[in-house]
Structure 1
Amino acid sequence: MSIRLKTIIGIACIEALLLLLLVSMTLNYLRTTNYDALTKRASTTVTLFATTTKDAVLSYDLASLDAFVREVLKNPDLVYARVLGPDHNVVAQGGDPTVLARPFIADHSVETTTDGVFDTAAEIREGGQVYGQVEIGLDISSMNAIFVEAERRSELIAVLEMGLVALFSFLLGSYLTKQLKVLHSAAKTISDGGLDLHVPVKGHDEIADVAGAFNTMVDNLRETSASRDRFENDLKELNRSLEQRVLRRTEELRKKNSELEQATREIKEAHAKLLHSEKMASIGVLAAGVAHEINNPIAFIMSNLQSLKQYTQSYRSVIQAYEEGATLTSLEDREAQQEKIQKLYEEYDLEFINEDLDDLLSDSIEGAKRVRDIVKGLRAFSHIDTVSTRSQCDLNECIQTTLKVVNNELKYHCEIRTELNELPLIYCCPGQINQVLLNLFLNAGQAIKDKGCVTVRSAQKDNMLTIEVEDTGTGIAAEKIEKIFDPFYTTKPVGKGTGLGLAISYGIIHEHGGELNVTSEPGKGSCFTISLPLVTDQAVAE
């Protein structure tokens, strides 16, 4: 499944769940608010009507009662009004004849009203004695029509928003995959030897930063290649001039000189291939680690989304049962439907679902944050500059970033301990320092065969900042310690190392004016110490 499809599906599922919750809560709030308002209005109207007609009922003034009935019927949505005497005989009434012909049954709530008219009544009392009763009916069909229209519009808005979200996800996924394909094609072109290319940089996002760094790398490679060609041309020109001055030299000397040039080219090519191999090995470690680290949070996010999907189906079943119950007119049918709803509530364990929703969403958000931190660390580590431009850097941040990247290579058989003291900012090349730390962490992990511990310390000693990487591995024999920084020297089995990692690291630290030292005891482990001068001025650093 492509990144684009994963993005669309993931965002669509989350958006659908949130829209469902929002729409259901909004409609429920709308119904509750309007029903409560209608109930209060009906209670107020019938109470006022009873108070107004009390004197007319006590005096049996039928003309006044008819006038009161006509006056109260002027209220909007009032279907009928009726006044009963002490013997429950009708003394005055008005309104819809069809509704007046039905027997009066008072409604206790708007939700249970099935005939479209909310019926309510109030007694006419005087001195604690009942002298009659007033009855009114309010039309709720217009209100129900509003609710139906609100549901229809909510569904339309939800569909529209889902479409827009899907379109945005599609465009975002297309943009990312397109940019990644461009970088992949450019990397393949470089691996084939083509350096005359430029990756287009569009926008100001992380993809644009990566493309810019990629172009910088290509420019540096091109400049290095051009410089090498110039040196080779100068050398050839010098050789030709020397040949003109030493025409009397023998053919054997020219042959040896030619062989020497060929050997020099072969050595340069071999050295370049080994450097490339070391760089590719580091990139391979990064890719494998990041892939594994991202798969874990993505896995439980997908699991949570599956659970949320099941919960949504349960909610839909219960809501459908409620909607079916709302259409029933028979009291027995409504009671049977209510029992069915209760069984569904218990069957789906909605109480547990309500409690579990927050945990599922919280875990998913935490997993997404973990993915974000891993990608952020990889992005920071990807700026391994080969240029001499330096910037302010926190060495502790370099340590933490590199540990995140190499975590997958160490965590299964190494306990990682950090003893980091607060350090001042210094000017250096953070990407190159990350490269050195990556090499030391990988070497420490490879030195531990079964289980062990890797301890990383940082401290300030006068005007020097130190980083120690100590392991409990196999250690290094005394006769080999003096050789470990030599190019192409390695104690690893064939195929496990190029012998360039520590040599490159040694060169990087010396370019920063520092030192890289090692102490080791066979069978107990090794400790590599990086010492860097505290440089707080950029001009001095450059």
Structure 2
Amino acid sequence: MKRLGIRRKTLVTLLGVAVPSLLAFSALIIASTALILQQNASRQVSSLAERSATSLAEMVGRSQATLTTMAASPEVGDYLTALTSGDHVRLADALQSLERTFLGWQKLDTTIQAIRLIDPAGNVLVKIKEGKLVPATGPARPPFALPAVHSVAGRDFFQAALRLPRHGVLISNLERGKTEEEEAFCPAMVRFATPLIGPDNVRVGVLVVNVWGEQTGQLINRLIAEAEGSAFLVERNPADPQRNGIYLFHRDETCEFGNQTGSRRTIFDDYPREITSAWLNHDRGIASDPRTKDILAHAYYSPYGLPDRGWVVVVNARRDFFLGPLTTIGRRTALWAVVVLILALAASLFFARSLTRPIQDVVEGIRRMEKNTAERIPEESQDEIGFLAGEINRMADAIQHNAEEQLRVEEHIRDTEKLASIGEMAAGLAHELNTPLGNIKALAILARKGIERGECDRQGLTGDLDDIVDQAGKCSDIITGLLSFARRSEARPTPQDPASLMGEAMALVRLRAEKRAVGLICNDPGLLPPLLVDGDQLRQIFVNILLNGIDAAPGGKVSVTLHQQEGGVRIDFRDNGSGIAAEHLGRIFDPFFTTKEVGQGTGLGLSVSYGMINAMGGSITVESQPGEGACFTVFLPATEEREA
């Protein structure tokens, strides 16, 4: 037959024309876009760092202007004049006026944390803190004999500010404050100080303004959104190793001011040495983190006017963020690639449609056969597709025939095993029937003799007839149980009580057990969930396993335990016989496999039981050690589980 070559033609068209072109075009677009995005992101991040450094300079400038404005205010001038006058009352009034003025300043400028007026001996004469006046309750101290809040005479910052020239401003480190009377650190702040110089250039004190560092932190956090990256402020201070490289502001507040909080965390712990070296030695720069490919831009600003002491603003832009648009471009490129592929497919499949349609018909026919085994594929064409459809139909006929034959064989095997079990129980049942029949015969003879002798006792005769009825009932029960077990019927699953079926099975094998001196023990399981099974089949399973246990433990015992388990009922059949050899455990459920002597068993009991249990949705397992007996465990799902 002529081969169609559909696969070869379609693949050659797609792979040879569309796919290489699309791959090359897509790679070029994505690579170019990535380069452009990285360059743009670098410029933007660098600009952010530059602008933030400028903003820091403006904030420091505003704070310096505030300090110098305060120092030049009329109220400070009145204080200086009062000092030279020597009038103690006038000096006290001037200090009260300063207190009111400083309170007004702090209310106008919320960035101010505290304002202090300090005399040349280091005594804090006026202190406004967080909108409140801290009263000077201490004893009068020289040189002005005025009460003080406390003394800062020994602090280096005060001494350095006192030595400044007129209008000079001293700026402290950005750090967390701490006062003598408080245990915890305050939020971060910067202190600005300027000397107060009276007539004849006499230094009469220092004016100090503490400015909250919160506005600096807000500026840093506003630089870049958390989803886009991070920004932080670092101190450059090689002269002080404890402060060099510490975080001044960071979104993760636990790493801020590691020299004060005890965390000791610095930029050297988080970034490679080549990057941190650039931050601490160059005023501007941009780099890429070799570990994450993030963009890192920094800008240096020194409020102290020093090249080696100041603040470094660092902006870290995540690679996933600045290359985020690449995902959109990639999706659009992929969309266009799909469009081109669709066009290529349309061109390639235009001529192949008439060839692929018969194949689709065959596939659909196979799917219909999966749902309905009687379905067949229409054999419409005379080409190789039609030949294939015919072969599939013939194969389906053979499979269906084999399946039906297999069902018939399995049913025959089950009947054979049942007949074998009946045969094994027949002798015992005959003996069981003989006893009540003998009793019936004896009672009937006695009754007849009494009638013949005319000694008919109505009450005695009634008792004899009752005994005859009772013995006949026993015979009927025995025959009914055997007929019920032997009856052949179509399997119809209905809710069954496993305990009742077990009782019927044990009644059927009781004589066999007595003959072999085997004790049968069954626990009282209480109320068990119903099982959706065929009662006759489950009774046959129980009989098969019990007979196996009886034959394996002559003179011993077979115990049965029924109990509820999650999702169903578990039944353990345990005997104390000789056990099963390890090499036989793997074959114990094989058809016609038996360890009994020839003529003692068919080898079908466990195999048939295994098949029926699987069909019920359950399972059967065996555990055994030679010399220690065996335990067969059957698990069957409850009615609701089986229905689900």
* TM-score when normalising by structure 1: 0.41
Q: Which has the higher helix share?
A: 1
- Find the structure with the greater CA-based Rg: 2
* TM-score when normalising by structure 2: 0.35
